[in-house]
Structure 1
Amino acid sequence: MLTFPRHKRRMPSQADSCPRSAVSHGVGLSGLAGLGLWTLVARHFGMNGPNAGLAAILACGLPMVLWSLLVDKVHRNPSTGIDWQGPPRAWRAVLDISLVKIAGLWATWMGIAIFYCLARWYWTGNYRFSMNLFMDAAPWLVLFSIPYVVWLDRRLVDPKDATYAFGLWVIGGAAGKPDMAQVADHARAWAVKGFFLAFMLSIVPGNFASVVDWRFDHVFANPVNLAAFLIAVMFMVDVCMATVGYLLTCKPLDSHIRSANPALAGWLAALICYPPFVLMGGGGPLDYHAGGAEWDVWTQGHTLLQWLLGGWLVLLTAVYAWATVVFGIRFSNLTHRGILTHGPYRWTRHPAYLSKNLFWWFSALPFLTVSGSLTDMVRNCAMLAVTNAVYYWRARTEEAHLLSDPHYRAYSEWMDRNGPVPRLVAWATGRGRTAPVPQPAE
């Protein structure tokens, strides 16, 4: 039980305050403002092409970087592992280390490039856009990595990190024996970035164009169109913010990957939710749309019901997008990049998963079928329930990964005591009272 000295006694509500979040509110809000401003400019001038989508990432990311550095001063956080106080090491003193790290970094990129070449889906459809971007950026990344690594190593408290261990493993021989645990950490972190960044970049242009192309006379024609437009806006926000998160994984911004989930179950649960492995898509084994129709079909002719159900779906999507916005520049699947405790994460540990799964039930209405088939109805409900179970599985594997961090344990315990959703679940399932609130010492 936590105690406080008599001269610092507080009220119980103050004593049980939520642990501090690793990210401030201002980071995500600044990115949201930049993205909103650029979207208005793009709509005004009719800019709906792929380059406009890329500009949206810049408009979203740049304000967040500036806020992080100038307001939050994240580069001063001890968790960066960077020493800004003393003079930097001489470049000759770190050159050997830096060369090993550069070798490891280039080998990593080469391995990802080979994987892209072998996986045919990366050269069709929207993925081709990502591949073209990577090919254009590759020479510049190779050149820039040399001064960046040397500059950073001169300031790092311990420059022999996971990238260094991977470089040793690549070079082999007399260079030294690598720490294989760090080698695995490096490989997992870059596997996450390589897989998800290609996907996120591939869907940015389409999501941005889906917002820019809407005509306002069409938007306000009926409640269904208005709901569809607002949902498209929030999906665009989610995609752009998440893409920035995958791009900006670096120590000077304190947004580096602390660890990637080492559990195979965590990877399986995540990968089956994304192309090309997605199981919930049309025709997939967990497809829950057979013989069904979306909510707008079932609400035709019922304007009030359209307003109510459309508003509820917009609200759920807003929570989903908000859960990404509050990450700022740190969004990423399967990784630990700091513990969030603000925004919708004060309500539940997994606001994005909760809102997303509720959205699917109310948008697809799987218990109704245009085919009139009882079999379709039962199958659709069962498949969506299994999909919900997959996301519950994802949530539990993520928690198991993060529980190694004492900050997450403190947050998780606070959430059990104070989180509205965990308390509601505890009450509904009859699990009894939650953990006791820490009280001041008598």
Structure 2
Amino acid sequence: MSTAFRKTGARPASDVSAGVGLAGLAALAFWIVLCRNWASIAEGLSLPGPRAPLSGPYASVATLFFTGAAMTLWSLCVDKVHLRPSTGIDWTAQRAFAETLDTSITKIVSLWATWALIGGFYWVCRWYWDGQYLFAMQVIGSAAIPLVVLSIPYVLWIDRVLVNPRDSAWHFGAMLIGREAWDAVEVRRHWRAWAIKGFFGAFMISILPGGFARIVEADFSAVLNQPVELASLLIEGLFLIDVQIGTVGYLFTFRPLDAHIRSGNPLLAGWVAALICYPPFVWGTMGRADVLGYEVNTGGWAHWAAAYDGMLWAWAALLVLLTAVYAWATFAFGLRFSNLTYRGVLTNGPYRFTRHPAYLSKNLFWWASAVPFLVTNGSVTDAVRNTVMLSVVSGIYYWRARTEEAHLLAEDSKYREYHAWMSENASITRALRAVSRLLLPRGPQMQPAE
């Protein structure tokens, strides 16, 4: 980073505007209000069907397209992202259909083969056919044929305006067809992106219905004077924002929206750190539920503050605030949220205070809600074990953050500028950086997996 940049104190411009996430948030709020009041709306308009809130699982899926459409319109009409060079599109240099047909056919073969292999992965892995994942499989199965059909006109259209239509998808198709030279690096790039979408997309869809139904059916008036119940409901609503906007991010990876995946994390350590935080690898399902269990004989925040009304309200407010920061860290991405990917650089919202607001707020929430060092049986052993285990969990998230930074630092000079700016100007980042230097001296740099 240049000395001139350091002196100006200017934070690098964000590739994602604040407006796109707020547009999605407003659309989500409108849809939830509509679903909660559907009985009276249907009655007033004499619409057919049941007179009840729209709280079913497919109503939660419809939310994705409602919020996604709002963010798409903002991105195109206000931010005009389709005109950015980073899309890889030149709208003024449209090629003839015959010129790109062969390339497009290769890419269509690539996409269909990719989806077939992901489908085979779903079919083989048992956890996708049990519990909450069953709904995700129903949704993905229903979308399969429309996706295959619509991929044809989309690829034929987009290839005519792409600066380089022979992208990573083409290289995988060329490998399958075997007629032209292909690049193994590009094939791996293609599969990293689709492995991320396949794994996390199914997970996100699987957790949509539960939180959505609880918020649509909730009676907020019944808990207004009950801090524990009110906090739980508000936290549920904030997690709904995170899940809904986050799921849109995995689905709307289109180049004209400048929301495509530039690269998946090439670091093996990055994949390990991320995947162990999610089913079926998450610590709660590693054969024993207490592999990293940190709530053994803990009463939790509500137990320890139960006798103090003021403390209950203050503690509830803290937990809601931490969850709000977590949700903000997701919807600030707009259409670009997803794990393990580089999709541009986000420097506004909570990311002006710390490079990892989601991980920081999530871990603070766990410590504040579980209070692992206080146990109901008075056992020092349980208190120490709980504290150590939650420290390990927080350490995993620190490791995860470092692998993500290593990926982005290698990809984009703007991120390198942002990283340096935060180190010099963001109070939270400076404080955490000082602590990490004391506790975790710098070791060998992580190397890419390829």
TM-score range, shorter chain: over 0.9
Q: What is the CA-CA distance between 1:135 and the residue it aligns to?
A: 1.1
Structure 2 equivalent of residue 241 of structure 1? 245
Is the deviation greater in 206-215 or in 358-367? 206-215
Amino acid at match of 1:410: E
Amino acid at match of 2:29: G
Amino acid at match of 1:70: C
Structure 1 equivalent of residue 322 of structure 2? 316
Q: Distance in 2 between matches of 1:111 and 1:429?
A: 42
Say whether 1:78 aligns with 2:71.
no
Q: Distance in 1 between matches of 2:55 and 2:10?
A: 45
Equivalences for residues 251-262 of structure 1 within 5 A: 251-262=255-266
Aligned to 2:29, the other structure's residue is in SS state: helix
Structure 2 equivalent of residue 421 of structure 1? 428
- Cα distance change, pair 222–403 in 1 and its aligned pair in 2 (3 A): same
Q: Distance in 2 between matches of 1:367 and 1:205?
A: 34
Q: What is the CA-CA distance between 1:427 and the residue it aligns to?
A: 5.3
| Cα deviation digits, residues 208-236 of structure 1 (max 9, x gap) | 11211211232213111221111111000
Q: 2:205 aligns with which of 188, 201, 208?
A: 201
Structure 1 equivalent of residue 37 of structure 2? 44
Q: What is the CA-CA distance between 1:61 and the residue it aligns to?
A: 1.1
Q: Distance in 2 between matches of 1:89 and 1:428?
A: 55
Q: What is the CA-CA distance between 1:385 and the residue it aligns to?
A: 0.1
Equivalences for residues 37-436 of structure 1 within 5 A: 37-45=30-38, 46-86=53-93, 88-172=94-178, 175-280=179-284, 283-404=289-410, 405-426=412-433
Q: Is the 8 A contact 2:87 2:255 kept in 1?
A: yes
Q: Distance in 2 between matches of 1:293 and 1:59?
A: 40
Q: Distance in 2 between matches of 1:76 and 1:346?
A: 26
Structure 2 equivalent of residue 18 of structure 1? 11
Q: Is the 8 A contact 2:6 2:421 kept in 1?
A: no
Q: What is the CA-CA distance between 1:429 and the residue it aligns to?
A: 6.8
Structure 2 equivalent of residue 436 of structure 1? none
Where do 4+ consecutive residues of structure 1 move more than 6 Å?
none
- Cα distance change, pair 429–397 in 1 and its aligned pair in 2 (3 A): closer
Q: What is the CA-CA distance between 1:238 and the residue it aligns to?
A: 0.2
Q: What is the CA-CA distance between 1:430 and the residue it aligns to?
A: 8.0
Amino acid at match of 2:208: V
Q: Is the 8 A contact 1:23 1:340 kept in 2?
A: yes
Aligned to 1:403, the other structure's residue is in SS state: helix
* Greater length-normalized contact order (CA 8 Å, ≥ 6 residues apart): 1
Q: Distance in 2 between matches of 1:265 and 1:427?
A: 24
Structure 1 equivalent of residue 444 of structure 2? none
Q: Is the 8 A contact 1:68 1:74 kept in 2?
A: yes
- Unaligned 5+ residue runs, structure 2? 39-52, 439-450
Q: What is the CA-CA distance between 1:428 and the residue it aligns to?
A: 5.3
Amino acid at match of 1:63: A
Q: Distance in 1 between matches of 2:264 and 2:191?
A: 9
Give the TM-score normalised by structure 2.
0.91
| Cα deviation digits, residues 359-411 of structure 1 (max 9, x gap) | 00000000111232222111110000000000000000000000011111000
Aligned to 1:329, the other structure's residue is in SS state: helix
- Cα distance change, pair 164–70 in 1 and its aligned pair in 2 (3 A): same
Aligned to 2:207, the other structure's residue is in SS state: helix
| Paired-residue identity, % | 53
Q: Is the 8 A contact 2:220 2:230 kept in 1?
A: no
Q: Distance in 1 between matches of 2:263 and 2:300?
A: 39
Q: Distance in 2 between matches of 1:239 and 1:326?
A: 13
- Cα distance change, pair 430–145 in 1 and its aligned pair in 2 (3 A): closer
Give the TM-score normalised by structure 1.
0.92
Residues paired across the two proteins, number: 421
- Unaligned 5+ residue runs, structure 1? 5-9, 432-442
| Cα deviation digits, residues 8-59 of structure 1 (max 9, x gap) | xx995xx211000010010000000000011111112322111221122122
Q: Is the 8 A contact 1:218 1:225 kept in 2?
A: no
| Cα deviation digits, residues 104-154 of structure 1 (max 9, x gap) | 110000000000000011011111111111111111111111111010001
Q: Distance in 2 between matches of 1:92 and 1:367?
A: 68
Q: Is the 8 A contact 1:278 1:284 kept in 2?
A: no
Q: Distance in 1 between matches of 2:109 and 2:25?
A: 37
Q: Is the 8 A contact 1:161 1:182 kept in 2?
A: yes
Structure 2 equivalent of residue 34 of structure 1? 27
Q: Distance in 1 between matches of 2:290 and 2:54?
A: 35
Structure 1 equivalent of residue 445 of structure 2? none
